């Protein structure tokens, strides 16, 4: 079988072009793997759920008989301890959940920010 002389340089060039295309596509072109897309989607959906549940958190704070004490504690606490206070108060625990949601606590704290 006779293989033309230009075949080897053509295959090397095609391989190098494919590698360069992949590098450019994943680095600057916005391409991503399926795993990265799932992680981005999960992060976005968790943020959307926390935003949707923020009114629930505010209503829980309004209905809590201990709200005045919790608000006073929030005012006197350092900024890095405030999320924990909201979580401990139960305001950031959605119905049916056993533990508070961190993103919901942060959103609730942001919404309560005017009254702190």
Please write the tens of the pLDDT for every residue from 79-101. 889 999 999 999 999 888 899 99
Per-residue DSSP letter, 89: H
pLDDT in tens, 24-78: 999 999 999 999 999 999 999 999 999 999 999 999 999 999 999 999 999 999 9
pLDDT band at 113 (very low <50, low <70, confident <90, very high): confident
Nearest-angstrom CA–CA distance, 94 and 100: 7
86 burial class (0-12, 13-18, 19+ CB within 10 angstroms)?
A: buried
| % the chain with pLDDT above 70 | 97
Q: pTM value?
A: 0.67
Query: 103: which residues sit within 8 A by CB, 6+ positions away?
Result: 46, 47, 49, 50
């Amino acid at each position: 079988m006779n293989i033309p002389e230009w075949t080897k340089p053509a295959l090397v060039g095609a391989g190098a072009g494919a590698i360069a295309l992949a590098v450019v596509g994943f680095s600057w072109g916005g391409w991503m793997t399926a795993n990265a897309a799932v992680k981005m989607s999960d992060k976005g959906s968790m943020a959307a759920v926390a935003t949707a549940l923020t009114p629930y958190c505010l209503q829980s704070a309004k209905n809590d008989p201990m709200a005045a004490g919790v608000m006073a504690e929030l005012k006197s606490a350092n900024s890095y301890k405030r999320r924990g206070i909201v979580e401990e108060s139960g305001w950031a625990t959605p119905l049916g959940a056993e533990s508070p949601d961190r993103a919901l606590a942060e959103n609730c704290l942001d919404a309560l920010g005017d009254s702190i």
